């Protein structure tokens, strides 16, 4: 059977990590390639890079980062942020990324999912969704609304509807981020994850709220997620990925334990 | 020199990067004379069987690869490259290279594990239970897992060629060996250390399955 995936997420701006990541001896690492190598060695099953660069110069730097990461680690990784066209996708994939993730741009132009899937295969296209709990109403029957631009702008789109629509358009996977849980380190939004995960037939990566290994256990079992995204809890070295995996494995979750 | 066959089936650079990391000289090529010269052949691929076979026929790479295999030099199939070495694939109802007797089938709809429906494609890390010793699969620890992305799976005509089985609702052949050919359904180039181990073993393999 498939193992549940543990996926660290790295935010990159102009080719540098936005938050220094602490490693052995409390050394701060600002280089995304070195951070990726460290997480690869700790047993990460996949890595997500999120490029928050604004300028086009910065974007070229990101392509170089992707190329160096691909020469360094031999597990799948995805790149998101600033991808607006099939050509943008192609550049990232040719530089060595396994998958690309699109978020706001897919809301504005849903056919981008379809074009990407036809050009590179569904498995390459990850739909990123930023979702906020708003309460059920006629416009938002699931009670969860999709936001774009890093959660700053509400769209009036129902999250469950959008997840199903994206699957139909050819998304291979959904990375589901809860705006309410993000940054709290108090646990994933389980209800939301379960809702989306049990209504689509593509894998769902839960994101937002991870602070302790117990949170991952919860979202991978009760939340029915196929994978869990983590950030601060490993970046600040509160836990290593291998500690988290050992915990999950000990609690009956199928986890890749040899790397 | 190791030749990576370029038949326009997906992105071949990840295999190349892994070989580079292993300090193995390689060339990504569709050039028949260069392929003839190579000591080892890697036949990777991502994409659809129908399109891949059409391209192989159109460029006569199909004949070249069959001839190559008959020479007894070591060949490694990966993912789609593994599927097209069989006689037939259900994907696009495609007649394939016919190097190994057997066929390729799609995972059934409503594949289940316990009371849980399984998603297709089979994507992610899964365990391979190795049944037999083989030089290319030497040095792997018992619990090693590999990275898979596929909706179709190989069914060799003879189970004796199967080196490793994987379970995803059904048990399927994830690794096989047939004379001078080895083939895997997973991506060794994206499977971390155990995957690199297989690639390194393959580069050292002379094409005989004697221990």
Task: Tell me which chain A residue has its CA closest to the CA of residue B124.
Answer: A2
User: Does A209 map to a domain?
Assistant: yes
Whether residues B126 and A76 touch (CB distance < 8 A) is answered with: no
Among candidates B17, B122, B191 on the partner chain, residue whose Cβ is nearest the Cβ of A96: B17
Q: Is residue A256 part of a domain?
A: no
Q: What are phi and psi of A147, to 5 degrees?
A: -120, 155
Host domain of residue A230 = 5-250
Q: What is the pLDDT of residues B34-93, one digit of tens each?
A: 999 999 999 998 888 999 999 999 999 999 999 999 999 999 999 999 999 999 999 999
Per-residue pLDDT band for A26 (boundaries 50, 70, 90) equals low
B96 included as an active-site residue: no
Closest CA to B25 of B4, B51, B48: B4
Within 8 A of B189 by CB-CB distance, chain A residues are 74
Whether A257 is in a domain gets the answer: no
pTM (2 decimals)? 0.94
Q: Is some CB atom of chain B closer than 8 A to the CB atom of A259?
A: yes
Q: Are A215 and A196 in contact (CB under 8 A)?
A: no
Please name the member of A1, A74, A122 whose beta carbon is closest to the beta carbon of B190. Answer: A74
Q: Does A58 touch chain B (CB under 8 A)?
A: no
Percent of chain B with pLDDT over 90: 83
Helix, strand, coil percentages, rounded to 5, for chain B: 30, 30, 35
For residue A94, what is the nearest residue in chain B, using CA coordinates? B11
What is the SS3 assignment for A23-39?
EHHHEEECCHHHHHHHH
A249 to chain B, any CB pair closer than 8 A? The answer is no
CA distance A219 to A227: 9
The C-alpha atoms of residue A24 and residue A6 are separated, in whole angstroms, by 20
Confidence of residue A21 (pLDDT cuts 50, 70, 90): confident
Percent of chain A with pLDDT over 70: 97
Q: Say if the Cβ atoms of A122 and B121 lie within 8 Å.
A: yes
Active-site residue, selected from the candidate residues A88, A130, A182, A218: A130
What confidence tens digit (pLDDT) does each residue in B105-116 have?
999 988 888 888
Q: Which domains are assigned to chain B?
A: 2-204 (3.40.50.880)
In this complex, the residue of A75, A173, A226 whose CB is nearest that of residue B192 is A75
What tens digit of pLDDT does each residue of A60-86 get? 889 999 999 999 999 999 999 989 999
Q: How confident is the model at residue B109, as a pLDDT?
A: 85
> Which of A5, A202, A258 is opposite residue B143, by nearest beta carbon?
A258
**Per-chain mean pLDDT for chain A:** 93
List Cβ neighbours of A9 (8 Å cut-off, separation of 6 or more).
A47, A48, A49, A50, A207, A229, A230, A231
| Cβ–Cβ gap A96/B126 under 8 Å | no
Asked, for residue A185, whether it belongs to a domain, the answer is yes
Please report the ipTM that was assigned to this predicted complex. 0.93
Q: Annotated catalytic, A11? A: yes
Yes or no, beta carbons of B126 and A3 under 8 Å apart? yes
Contact between B191 and A202 using a beta-carbon 8 Å cutoff:
no
Q: What is the mean pLDDT of residues B111-123?
A: 87
A-chain residues near B15 (CB < 8 A)? none
Domain assignment present for residue A111? The answer is yes
Dihedral sign computed on CA atoms, order B126, A189, A176, B112: positive
* DSSP-based three-state secondary structure for B25: coil
Q: How many CA atoms lie within 13 A of B14 on its CB side?
A: 30
The one-character DSSP state at A22 is E
Q: What is the CATH number of the domain that holds A104?
A: 3.20.20.70
Angle A65-A66-A68 from CA coordinates, rounded to 5°: 65
Contact between chains at B123 and A172 (C-beta distance less than 8 A): yes
Chain-centroid distance of CA B76 in Å reads 6
Pinpoint the alpha helices (H) of chain A: 32-42, 56-72, 86-94, 104-108, 111-120, 159-169, 190-197, 213-221, 232-235, 241-250
C-alpha distances (whole Å) from A208 to each of A54, A132, A153, B70 are 23, 11, 18, 54
d(CA A207, CA A189): 8
**DSSP readout, B71-124?**
TT--EEEETHHHHTTSSEETGGGEE---SSSEEEEEPPTT-EETTEEPPSSEEE
Nearest to A233 by CA among A190, A199, A194, A183: A183
Distance (Å, whole) CA A48 – CA A36 = 9
Pairs from A251-257 (Cβ < 8 Å, separation ≥ 24): A251/A217, A253/A4, A253/A217, A253/A220, A253/A221, A254/A1, A254/A2, A254/A3, A254/A4, A255/A3, A255/A4, A255/A6, A256/A3, A256/A43, A256/A45, A256/B125, A256/B145, A257/A43, A257/B143
Would an 8 Å CB–CB cutoff place A5 in contact with chain B? yes
The tokens 């089985």 sit on which residue? Answer: B165
Q: Is the pLDDT of residue B211 over 80?
A: no
Query: How many structural domains is chain A composed of?
Result: 1
Dist CA B165 CA B159 (whole Å): 10
**How big is the A-B interface in CB pairs under 8 Å?**
83
pLDDT for position B210: 55
Residue A237 in any domain: the answer is: yes
- B46: nearest CB among A121, A227, A259: A121
Asked if residue A255 belongs to a domain, the reply is no
From B79, B96, B173, B203, active-site residue: B79
> How far is residue B157's CA from residue B85's CA, in Å, rounded to a whole number?
12
Report the pLDDT averaged over residues A242-256. Answer: 98
Asked whether residue A42 is assigned to any structural domain, the reply reads: yes
A49 vs B75: CA distance, rounded Å: 35
Sign, Cα dihedral of A196, A197, A200, A204 = positive
Taking only the tens place, the pLDDT of each residue in A118-144 is: 888 889 999 999 999 999 999 999 999
The answer, for A122 touching chain B at a CB cutoff of 8 Å, is yes
Residue closest to A170 by CA, chosen among A127, A227, A206: A127
Exposed (0-12), middle (13-18) or buried (19+): which is B141, by Cβ within 10 Å? exposed
Q: By three-state DSSP, how is residue A143 classified?
A: coil
Taking residues A150-156, what's their average pLDDT?
90
Please determine, for residue A222, whether its predicted confidence score (pLDDT) is greater than 90.
yes
Res A9 pLDDT > 70 = yes
Region of B208 on the Ramachandran plot (φ > 0 left; ψ -120 to 50 alpha; else beta): beta
Across all residues in chain B, what is the average pLDDT? 93
Across residues A185-214, what is the average pLDDT?
Answer: 96
Better-scored residue on pLDDT, A55 or A212 = A212
CA atoms within a 13 Å half-sphere pointing along the CA-CB vector of A130: 18
Whole-number percent of chain A with pLDDT over 90: 84
């Amino acid at each position: 059977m498939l193992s549940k995936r543990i996926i660290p997420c790295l935010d990159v701006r102009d080719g540098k990590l936005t938050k220094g990541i602490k490693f052995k001896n409390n050394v701060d690492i600002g280089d995304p390639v070195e951070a990726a190598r460290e997480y690869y060695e700790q047993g990460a099953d996949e890595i997500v890079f999120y490029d928050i660069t604004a300028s086009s110069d910065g974007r070229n730097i990101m392509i170089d980062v992707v190329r160096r990461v691909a020469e360094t680690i031999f597990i799948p990784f995805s790149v998101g942020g600033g991808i607006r066209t099939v050509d943008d996708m192609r550049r990232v994939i040719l530089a060595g990324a396994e998958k690309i993730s699109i978020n706001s741009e897919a809301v504005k132009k849903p056919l981008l999912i379809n074009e990407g899937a036809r050009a590179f295969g569904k498995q390459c296209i990850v739909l990123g969704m930023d979702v906020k709990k708003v309460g059920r109403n006629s416009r938002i029957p699931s009670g969860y609304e999709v936001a774009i631009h890093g959660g700053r702008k509400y769209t009036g789109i129902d999250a469950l509807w959008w997840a199903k629509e994206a699957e139909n358009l050819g998304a291979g996977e959904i990375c589901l981020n809860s705006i309410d849980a993000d940054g709290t380190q108090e646990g994933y939004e389980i209800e939301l994850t379960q809702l989306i995960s049990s209504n689509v037939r593509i894998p769902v990566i839960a994101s937002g709220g991870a602070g302790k290994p117990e949170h991952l256990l919860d979202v991978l079992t009760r939340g029915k997620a196929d994978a869990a995204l983590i950030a601060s809890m490993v970046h600040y070295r509160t836990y290593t990925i291998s500690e988290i995996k050992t915990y999950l494995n000990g609690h009956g979750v199928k986890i890749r334990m040899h790397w | 020199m190791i030749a990576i066959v370029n038949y326009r089936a997906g992105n071949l650079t990840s295999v190349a990067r892994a070989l580079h990391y292993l300090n193995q000289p390689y060339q990504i090529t569709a050039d028949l004379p260069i392929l003839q010269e190579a000591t080892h052949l890697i036949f990777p691929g991502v994409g659809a069987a129908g399109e891949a076979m059409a391209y192989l026929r159109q460029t006569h790479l199909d004949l070249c690869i069959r001839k190559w295999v008959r020479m007894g030099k070591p060949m490694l199939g990966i993912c789609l490259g593994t599927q097209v070495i069989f006689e037939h694939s259900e994907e696009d109802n495609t007649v394939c290279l016919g190097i190994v007797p057997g066929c390729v089938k799609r995972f059934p709809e409503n594949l289940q594990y316990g009371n849980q429906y399984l998603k297709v494609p089979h994507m992610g890390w899964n365990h391979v239970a190795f049944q037999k010793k083989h030089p290319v699969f030497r040095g792997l620890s018992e619990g090693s897992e590999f990275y898979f992305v596929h909706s179709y799976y190989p069914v060799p005509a003879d189970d004796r060629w199967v080196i490793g089985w994987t379970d995803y609702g059904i048990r399927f052949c994830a690794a096989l060996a047939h004379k001078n050919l080895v083939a895997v359904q997973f991506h060794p180039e994206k499977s971390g250390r155990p995957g690199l181990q297989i690639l390194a073993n393959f580069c050292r393999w002379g094409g005989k399955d004697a221990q």
